[in-house]
């Protein structure tokens, strides 16, 4: 019987609230799926800063490196607004991504049939939507050096962030985009700003070259990222896989979240390259949303993005595709039955709490499993 080691990093704000519901789903799978799970929990973000004065400890990093998959809740909040930049809660997440070399961030935006009226856009625009934003996650302006604030001779300050990409970094994310497209609708849209950025010029050239040499069977289209943002809300069903850099991918995926009804719906998988010997990838799974300080502690958080992130872990790290289908199917069933957390509820409709949504999903898994 297969057994998987999972490291749970709940984090701050609503992170622990949505992670508790994932715990419920893991327990169910442990009992019923034929595979077992060993879970360990550690601190990250503000909670790690409060305990250890760093956003993640070396010991927690070692556990993350060794786990079959890391499940991450969310980090950050006003309490830590003035802590030094290097140890801000968000630095813990950035260290996990960089040190584990998790360069490929898959952010699927799927509009569940029952939620076609929950989006701020018209039903016709979002109904049946199933697109994938592939965000490069370990390069670009997030990590480029120099990255600093310096005081000039005249006392003024100058802040610098550096947008930096190498051929290798673009090649490997382009390959992931084309491989994913082959399993979907065979189309890749690459977004950059080659009209103003040198990194955009190189991005465009490298994606084009990889396509020509290895993936000419896949349809490739290039779009300037600002126009891409507009197209994403005008007619999102024109897209299949969107591949883009770290910063554009961050912004475009929050936009895409609203096509599905709520930011509380979008899961993600951050994957490294397959190990040369074992073929296994390092991986971290997290909702696209943050710690939502405005609703933390109020039992209002939608746990679906976090639970669907576990679904992605089952698919990509645990060789449990059927169990992943079961989780996704249970989410669809619960939504079809009209159960809604506050972020999804229509005006005047009764909303359920975070826990009630988690329990409903586990009951739906029971029902599907017979």
* Contact partner, 192, from Mn ion, ligand NAD, ligand IPM, none, Cβ < 5-8 Å per class: none
Dihedral of the alpha carbons of 201, 204, 210, 213, in degrees to the nearest 10? -90
Which uninterrupted H or E stretch holds 174?
A: helix 167-182
> How many residues bind to ligand IPM according to rule CB under 6 A?
7
Q: Is residue 250 involved in binding Mn ion (CB under 5 A)?
A: yes
Q: Is residue 101 involved in binding ligand NAD (CB under 6 A)?
A: no
CB atoms within 10 A of CB 356: 15
308 in a known ligand binding site: no
Task: Pick the closer one to ligand IPM by CB: 74 or 342.
Answer: 74
For residue 111, with 0-12 CB atoms within 10 Å meaning exposed, 13-18 middle and 19 or more buried, which class applies? buried
Interface map 203-242 toward Mn ion (x if CB under 5 A): ----------------------------------------
325 is catalytic: no
299 in a known ligand binding site: yes
CA distance 225 to 96: 27
Q: Which of 105, 349, 127 is nearest to 259 (CA)?
A: 127
CA distance 368 to 84: 49
CB of residue 133 to ligand IPM, shortest distance in Å: 11
| Those residues with Cβ within 8 angstroms of residue 140's Cβ, 6 or more apart along the chain or in another chain | 163, 164, 165, 199, 245, 246, 247
**Residue 93 φ then ψ, to 5°:** -70, -40
Q: Is residue 290 involved in binding ligand NAD (CB under 6 A)?
A: yes
Task: Pick the closer one to Mn ion by CB: 81 or 153.
Answer: 81
Specify binding-site residues for substrate: 97, 107, 135, 226
Positions that interact with ligand IPM (CB under 6 A): 76, 90, 93-94, 250, 288, 290
Positions that interact with ligand NAD (CB under 6 A): 14, 74-77, 90, 93, 263-264, 286, 289-295, 301-302, 305, 343
Specify binding-site residues: 77-90, 97, 107, 135, 226, 250, 254, 290-302
């Amino acid at each position: 019987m297969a057994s998987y080691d999972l490291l749970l990093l709940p984090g701050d704000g609503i992170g622990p609230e949505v992670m508790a519901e994932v715990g419920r789903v893991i327990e169910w799978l442990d009992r019923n799926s034929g595979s077992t799970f060993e879970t360990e929990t550690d601190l990250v973000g503000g909670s790690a800063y409060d305990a250890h004065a760093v956003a993640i400890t070396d010991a927690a990093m070692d556990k993350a490196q060794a786990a079959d998959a890391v499940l991450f809740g969310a980090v950050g909040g006003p309490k830590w607004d003035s802590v030094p930049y290097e140890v801000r809660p968000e630095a813990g997440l950035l260290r996990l991504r960089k040190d584990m070399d998790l360069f490929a961030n898959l952010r699927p935006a799927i509009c569940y049939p029952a939620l076609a009226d929950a989006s701020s856009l018209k039903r016709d625009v979002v109904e049946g939507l199933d697109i994938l934003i592939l965000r490069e996650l370990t390069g670009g302006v997030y990590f480029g050096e120099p990255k600093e604030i310096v005081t000039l001779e005249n006392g003024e300050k100058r802040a610098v962030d550096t947008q930096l990409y190498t051929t290798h970094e673009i090649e490997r994310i382009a390959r992931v985009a084309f491989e994913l497209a082959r399993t979907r609708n065979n189309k890749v849209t690459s977004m950059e700003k080659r009209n103003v950025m040198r990194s955009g010029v190189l991005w465009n050239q490298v994606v084009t070259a990889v396509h020509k040499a290895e993936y000419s069977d896949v349809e490739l289209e290039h779009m300037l990222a600002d126009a891409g943002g507009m197209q994403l809300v005008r007619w999102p069903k024109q897209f299949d896989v969107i591949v883009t850099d770290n910063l554009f991918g961050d912004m475009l995926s929050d936009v895409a979240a609203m096509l599905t009804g709520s930011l509380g719906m979008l899961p993600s998988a951050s994957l490294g390259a397959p190990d040369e010997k074992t073929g296994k990838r390092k991986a971290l799974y997290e909702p696209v949303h943050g710690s939502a300080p405005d609703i933390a502690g109020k039992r209002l958080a939608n746990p679906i993005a976090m639970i669907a992130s576990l679904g992605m872990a089952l698919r990509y790290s645990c060789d449990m595709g059927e169990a992943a289908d079961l989780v996704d199917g249970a989410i669809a069933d619960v939504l079809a039955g009209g159960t809604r957390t506050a972020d999804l509820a229509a005006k005047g409709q009764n909303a359920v709490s975070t826990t009630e949504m988690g329990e409903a999903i586990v009951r739906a898994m029971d029902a599907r499993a017979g």
